[in-house]
Structure 1
Amino acid sequence: MQQPRALFGGALSAFIPHSATDTSELREIPDNQEVFVHAHTDQSLIVELVEYQARVADQDAARYHFEDIAGSNKASEPAGASGVSGVEPLPKPELSLSQCSSAWMLTGTQCVSKFNEDASNTVTLRLGLFRLPQFSTDVLVTFNDPQSISPASSSKVDSGGDHTEPWTLQDFQRLLLSLTLHDPGLFG
């Protein structure tokens, strides 16, 4: 039986999907992030602690963070797409992170380039947002799921017969529902 994975030194925990590699074992990661990559796809998961945006209404906060991520990634919207395709509240009774004032899941699409390449990849971005105003923190959980990888991108890999299953929306939802706070001292 899979056990929840400790995050931020055990201050948080969640069920992280199969085939997840902790990126901090490969490169330096900022202290406010936990980053995991799928061992055989270009999918990634990021759990990030960011400043609570008090001036942004709860129902608009997920879109605010989506646009902030797009700006940081120098992302563009796919041709004929609006970027965000949906935002829905996560039902509080089903959440393990009971300290949040509200929780949201956003689904959107961005065109991003890795390592400042010219080649751009179309990525479905799912964002879970947990609002914790009492700690002046928003917890973001981002699932990057590439849909179309440019042949010129460094992300292009030869599948070479590897049949490892990619992460699914259900894997992401399980992570969101299982996210648990063990030590509020994490927030300062």
Structure 2
Amino acid sequence: MGDEINQQQEAHRLFGGAFSACLPPGGIDVSEMRQVPDNQEVFVHPCTDQSIIIELLEYQAGVPDENAARYHFEDLADASATTEILSQELFMPHLLALEGCSSAWQLTARQLVAKFNEEAKNEVTVHLTLLRLPQYGTDLLLTFNNPTWIHPLSSSAAQGTEVPPTFSQAPWTVEHFHIFVCSLRLHDPGIFG
């Protein structure tokens, strides 16, 4: 199965070609629909509320490596969301195509969060990988938001339920995200300024 997934994912240019990574099949570039901050690339699944986000964040020199993933997760977590960190572990740098990463951590959390400030809250599993690049003053944050339960009154409840997913529309998996993380490459360090 892993080889099948790997063959479906194609390298995609990120940040104007400064990076590349293998995106899951069918990913839609959110910047083609709305404004996305310059330090982010956001891709969404065509039929689910799944998303993959890559962010270039300021390196937090005062935060020890073992606390940095939690620090960034808590910084990004919606204040109105109920969150629970399920696991955090060291990510083996030898698995990464990205060179120069001083430390890599992965964190998995569960959130109960509303979409568009609705009262109905959906359960989302957040898979986060933090790649620390102190030489560039950057913490590189990769996030896979995977809704595991959609509240019936959420605006998301009506999406994707009418048409059964085709192979290319099947939900993304943690393995898709893992391939995305491991395939990330830096082509132009000039992006760091």
Pairs within 5 Å for 1:20-99 = 20-71=27-78, 74-77=80-83, 83-99=84-100
Q: TM-score, normalised by structure 2?
A: 0.90
Cα distance per residue 1:126-165 (max 9 Å; x no partner): 0010001111110001100001111111111251132231
CA RMSD of aligned residues (A): 1.2
Q: Number of paired residues?
A: 182
Q: CA deviation at 1:35?
A: 0.3
On the 8 A contact 1:33/1:48 being kept in 2, the answer is: yes
Asked if 1:185 is matched to 2:190, the reply is yes
Match of 1:127 in 2: 128
SS at match of 1:156: helix
- Distance in 2 between residues matched to 1:187 and 1:74, nearest whole Å: 32
Runs ≥4 in structure 1, deviation > 2 angstroms?
A: none
On the 8 A contact 2:97/2:182 being kept in 1, the answer is: yes
Pairs within 5 Å for 1:9-28 = 9-28=16-35
- Distance in 2 between residues matched to 1:176 and 1:161, nearest whole Å: 30
Match of 2:4 in 1: none
SS at match of 2:157: coil
Q: CA deviation at 1:115?
A: 1.1
On the 8 A contact 1:50/1:137 being kept in 2, the answer is: yes
SS at match of 1:39: coil
SS at match of 2:48: coil
